[in-house]
Amino acid sequence: MDQQPAIEQPAVALVREALQADTRFQTSSIDVSTENGAIVLSGIAPDPSTRAAAVAVARRTRGVSQVIDRIQVHPFVPRFDTDITADIVTAITLRTRVNSARVDVETVDGVVYLRGTVPDPTARQLIDSLARSTDGVRDVIDELVVEPPVSHPDPEIEQQLRERLNQLLRPEATSRIHVTVHHGVAYLQGEAESTALRWAIEDLARWTPGVLDVVDELRGPTGQRRNRSRR
């Protein structure tokens, strides 16, 4: 039996471009790869006809001699963006070891944007996969940055956090904020003159290098803690 010629990488790019340019696949999430010289289509399509159309597009692409169809059919069910975001944040919290406070999830018209930092490529791939498998997601824009954790002594973290607060707040406001750091966890105590300022202080602490988590015990004008749905 004659051996099928291997499909070169340009054919993969051509198939991917053809699928992206075709409006029939806007609600699909189809990945293109190669296996033993054949083009492999995987991912999700909303119905059998869309799946068949994707295979047909791949087969008639220049340089393609064989197509392996591994596309799964899952009907697309529209959902509120807020519900999609909440589901992804919950999945990240329950199914990964990533600090969810360092991952920002935003959903716009079913398109999920992932931003923030993760400790390694495996974590980034897992979060991307969790987002793509969430009901109602049309597409995922992965802008996560891999930043391996770097150990920082607590006194160093505490000093840097105080310096950032001094840059953000007026001296009289800074004097009302008390910061301590234990094992990478920043504890915020004292008074913030507004809810917006309190949130800004908490976010500043979370993004200080070396901070693993933040315990916000600040007293604000409403006397309420911040309710986070993202970050």
Domain CATH code at residue 33: 3.30.1340
Sign of CA dihedral 181, 183, 185, 189: negative
Whether 206 has a pLDDT exceeding 90, the answer reads no
Does some domain include residue 166?
Answer: yes
pLDDT, residue 221, reads 63
Q: Where does the pLDDT of residue 122 fall: very low under 50, low under 70, confident under 90, or very high at 90 and above?
A: confident
Among 146, 162, 192, give the residue marking a domain's end. 146
Higher pLDDT, 1 or 117: 117
Using one digit for the tens of pLDDT, what is the confidence trace for 72-119?
888 777 789 999 999 999 999 998 888 877 899 999 988 999 999 888
Please state the domain count of the chain.
Answer: 3
> 164 with 212, same domain?
yes
pLDDT, residue 79, reads 87
**Rounded to an integer, what distance in angstroms lies between the CA atom of residue 198 and that of residue 16?**
46
> 61 with 86, same domain?
no
Among 24, 57, 73, give the residue marking a domain's end. 73
> 184 with 140, same domain?
no
Using one digit for the tens of pLDDT, what is the confidence trace for 176-204?
899 999 988 899 999 888 888 888 888 88
Q: What is the CATH number of the domain that holds 160?
A: 3.30.1340.30
Task: Report the first-to-last Cα separation within the chain, whole angstroms.
Answer: 57
User: Taking residues 142-166, what's their average pLDDT?
Assistant: 87
Whether 223 has a pLDDT exceeding 60, the answer reads no
User: Taking residues 130-151, what's their average pLDDT?
Assistant: 85
Q: What share of the chain is helix, strand, coil (3-state, %, to 5)?
A: 40, 30, 35
**Rounded to an integer, what distance in angstroms lies between the CA atom of residue 138 and that of residue 140?**
7
> 104 with 140, same domain?
yes
CA neighbor of 212 nearest in space, from 184, 179, 173: 184
pLDDT, residue 228, reads 44
> 164 with 210, same domain?
yes
User: Taking residues 14-18, what's their average pLDDT?
Assistant: 91
DSSP 8-state class, residue 37: T
Using one digit for the tens of pLDDT, what is the confidence trace for 32-71?
998 888 999 998 888 888 999 999 999 999 888 899 999 9
Classify 142 as helix, strand or coil: strand
Vertex 57 angle, CA 54 and 60, to 5°: 150
Does some domain include residue 4?
Answer: no
Q: Which domain, by its residues, includes 202?
A: 154-219
pTM score above 0.85: no
> 93 with 130, same domain?
yes
Does some domain include residue 228?
Answer: no
> 91 with 139, same domain?
yes
Does some domain include residue 227?
Answer: no
Indicate the range of 67-71, 207-211, 214-218 predicted with least confidence: 207-211
